[in-house]
Copies of this chain bind each other. A is one copy, B any other.
Amino acid sequence: MDSDHFVHINTGSSEPIYRQLVEQVKRRVAAGQLRAGDEIPSVRDLAQSLAVHPMTISKAYSLLESEGVLERRRGLSMVVAAQHQRAQSAADRVELLRPTLHQAAAEARQLQLTKIQALNLFKTILDESAP
């Protein structure tokens, strides 16, 4: 597995690096970009390509294993777990977006914005990121 482009991290974010990795891998598995049995980059490779300490990568991988997303193969690279083999349906993937949008809706309400205003901003941002 190519360790470049596997995930992106933002070292400036307050979100810990290991958690950024966990969330991105989970989304990519849900989206079907990573399939059951796919090898993921080794701890050392990914650590080097992200310029991060190997233990940070290892921590993320361990968490993903404990959540059943990855499987450990002794002495070998880790792979995407079988029970996550099927990419989730669009309906399921949409649900994974709910928490963040729920937060956005709460903020919009506190800002006393209309639904139209909030939706228009979201549409604008979506167009910016993938015009």
Which residues of A come within 8 Å of B, CB atoms?
A: 16-17, 23-24, 27-28, 30-33, 53, 66, 74-75, 90, 93-94, 96-98, 100-113, 115, 117-119, 121-123, 125-130
With a cutoff of 8 Å between Cβ atoms, the chain B residues found around residue A74 in the complex are 16-17
Chain A interface helix/strand/loop/mixed: helix
With a cutoff of 8 Å between Cβ atoms, the chain B residues found around residue A23 in the complex are 107
With a cutoff of 8 Å between Cβ atoms, the chain B residues found around residue A125 in the complex are 98, 101-102, 105
Q: Tell me how many chains of this kind the complex includes.
A: 4
With a cutoff of 8 Å between Cβ atoms, the chain B residues found around residue A90 in the complex are 113, 117
With a cutoff of 8 Å between Cβ atoms, the chain B residues found around residue A113 in the complex are 90, 93-94, 97
In the complex, are the beta carbons of A101 and B122 less than 8 A apart? yes
In the complex, are the beta carbons of B123 and A115 less than 8 A apart? yes
Minimum C-beta distance from A119 to chain B (A)? 6
Minimum C-beta distance from A81 to chain B (A)? 13
